[in-house]
Amino acid sequence: MCLSIPSKVVEISEDKTMCTVDTMGVRREANLMMMADDEVQVGDYVLLHIGFVMNKIDEEEALKSIETYKEILEVMDEEERWRTILEDDHCENRGLNGA
């Protein structure tokens, strides 16, 4: 199962096709091609699926979700925590053309 953790946009490429997001301390690149031009700005919270930004979410909602997620992580051991946070990059349910 894939779980999309709210991620904060920390950088946007000059051509606005890619961004860098921070997901609970883990930075990764994400594709912005599924979003309308200028819809996502640095500082926004977004949800990712298979490396694509799928939608922007309200900061208050994002922070609540992150707090809930942290509560879940507290009951896991350290290896399981990192595996869960990083798992978003390797979701088995690839969706778009099985990619």
Q: Per-residue confidence at 99, pLDDT binned at 50, 70, 90? A: very low
Q: Is the pTM of this model over 0.75?
A: yes
Residue 64 confidence (pLDDT): 95
**What CATH number is given for 7-92 in this structure?**
2.30.30.140
**Residue 66 pLDDT:** 92
Residue 30 amino acid letter: A
Mean pLDDT across the chain, nearest whole number? Answer: 84
pLDDT for the residue numbered 93: 46
Work out the pLDDT band at 2, boundaries 50, 70, 90. Answer: low
- In this predicted structure, the answer to whether residue 91 has a pLDDT above a threshold of 60 is no
Express each pLDDT in 13-56 by its tens digit: 999 999 999 998 999 999 999 999 889 999 999 999 889 999 99
